[in-house]
């Protein structure tokens, strides 16, 4: 089992929490995100093309080394976060089964309830509505069945938390006007190098229509847990995808924390896009190298103790200070990229 910290990274204190940060009130989130249309940046027709050329030039050597017949390398925010921390961790995590946890149930349920509120402006019983939505969607990760099997205090605590977070959402979010063209779970996919590398993501909420003279799109991610170091990087990655997809960057990106009602938002500038591009290029290059069959580099880090590949990783065991028996060469789990799940 992969510990949630090993995927999400460490929690960092929310700015202003416990220090009298002003509470958001009903409708304030959309008002804050709306911004003055005149202050939105003008569309630069050359920006997206320049960013795409930069990425494709940097990826060309790794793509060419794999050949034209190779399967596309998909680059997601999760893959970037993991491969930039430790390549061996990424490979081990892809092979490990995804085991439902209470935290996963909470996140999936709050996502479903947020979509329902934004789409129809009503939520009945949060527990039943959320699980029904997951089941209609196929319950792909077994989250709904895991949740329905919960009993006693664990289920009661989770039901209460869902109710509290839905109350935060209802208090802080007015239902978007149709003029905002709100889309939930919007898929962003950008093929590069003739489709041999695909940048991909799913944004919780996209607001605004196609850009004309000025940037017109706002991207929002919803988080049911605490702030983490990688959340800002995830938003910048999505801003880069939207820029490449539509030809214009979003005018604003934001993370909304439904447990506290906090909103972490920023205007999108060239510095954020260039930083995201450099990070994406580094991660995508590593992913291409792994997909070509290279041995994954092992980079000891604070998350080693929760890595699924720890039993076969000497540097990780030294970093974690554990005496978990190491597998010998004959019985070590296969952590080669060729066996990794995509």
Examine the fold and report which residue of 288, 307, 335 is the final residue of a domain before the chain moves on.
288
Q: Residue 171 burial by CB count (10 A; 0-12/13-18/19+): exposed, middle or buried?
A: middle
Could you give the 3-state DSSP secondary structure of residue 246?
helix
Pairing mode of beta strands 197-207, 73-75: parallel
Task: Please tell me whether residues 70 and 113 are part of one structural domain.
Answer: no
d(CA 199, CA 77): 9
Task: Write down which residue in 241, 266, 288 finishes a domain.
Answer: 288
Rounded to two decimals, the pTM is: 0.85
Q: Can you give the residue range of the structural domain that contains 211? A: 27-95+178-288
Domain boundary among 288, 303, 325: 288
Residues 251 and 197 occupy one common structural domain: yes
Measured distance between the N- and C-terminal CA atoms of the chain, rounded to whole angstroms: 18
Q: How many CB atoms lie within 10 A of CB 217?
A: 27
Q: C-alpha distances in angstroms, 78 versus 94, 116, 319? A: 11, 25, 23
Both 167 and 153 in one domain: the answer is: yes
Q: Are residues 261 and 230 in the same domain?
A: yes
Domain count within the chain: 2
- Please indicate, yes or no, whether residues 90 and 155 belong to a single structural domain of this protein: no
pLDDT tens for each residue of the chain, 342 residues long: 333 333 333 333 333 333 333 445 545 798 888 766 557 888 888 999 999 999 999 999 999 988 888 899 999 999 999 999 999 999 999 998 888 999 999 999 999 999 999 999 999 999 999 999 999 999 988 999 999 999 999 999 999 999 999 999 999 999 998 988 999 999 999 999 999 999 999 999 999 988 888 889 999 999 999 998 889 999 999 999 999 999 999 999 999 999 999 999 999 999 999 999 999 999 999 999 999 999 999 999 988 998 989 998 989 999 888 766 555 333 333 333 333 333
**Does some domain include residue 225?**
yes
Same domain, 190 and 240: yes
The answer to whether residue 114 is domain-embedded is: yes
Residues 107 and 76 occupy one common structural domain: no
Helix/strand/coil for 184: strand
Note whether 188 and 273 are same-domain residues: yes
Residue 70 included in any domain: yes
């Amino acid at each position: 089992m992969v510990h949630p910290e090993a995927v999400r990274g460490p929690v960092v204190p929310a700015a202003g929490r416990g220090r009298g940060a002003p509470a958001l009130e009903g409708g304030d989130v959309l008002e804050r995100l709306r911004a003055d249309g005149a202050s939105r940046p003008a569309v630069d027709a050359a920006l997206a093309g320049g960013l795409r050329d930069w990425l494709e030039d940097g990826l060309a050597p790794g793509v060419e080394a794999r050949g034209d017949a190779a399967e596309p390398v998909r680059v997601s925010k999760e893959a970037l976060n993991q491969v930039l921390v430790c390549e061996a961790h990424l490979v081990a995590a892809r092979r490990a089964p995804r085991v439902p946890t209470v935290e996963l149930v909470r996140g999936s349920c709050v996502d479903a309830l947020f979509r329902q509120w934004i789409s129809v402006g009503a939520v009945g019983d949060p527990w039943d509505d959320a699980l029904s939505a997951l089941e209609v969607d196929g319950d792909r990760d077994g989250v709904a069945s895991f949740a329905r099997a919960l009993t006693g205090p664990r289920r009661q605590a989770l039901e209460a938390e869902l109710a509290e977070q839905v109350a935060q959402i209802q208090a802080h979010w007015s239902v978007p006007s149709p003029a905002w063209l709100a889309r939930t779970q919007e898929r962003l996919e950008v093929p590069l190098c003739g489709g041999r590398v695909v940048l991909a993501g799913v944004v919780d909420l996209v607001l605004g229509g196609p850009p004309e003279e000025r940037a017109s799109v706002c991207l929002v991610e919803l988080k049911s847990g605490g702030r983490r170091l990688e959340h800002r990087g995830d938003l910048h990655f999505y801003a880069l995808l939207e820029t490449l997809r539509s030809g214009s960057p979003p005018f604003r990106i934001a993370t909304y924390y439904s447990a506290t009602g906090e909103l972490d938002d920023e205007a999108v500038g060239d510095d954020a896009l260039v930083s995201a591009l450099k990070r994406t290029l580094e991660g995508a290059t590593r992913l291409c190298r792994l997909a070509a069959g290279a041995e994954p580099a092992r980079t000891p880090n604070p998350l080693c103790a929760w890595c699924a590949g720890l039993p076969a990783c000497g540097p990780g065991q030294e970093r974690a200070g554990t005496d978990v028996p190491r597998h010998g060469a004959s019985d070590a789990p296969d952590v080669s990229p060729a066996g990794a799940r995509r």
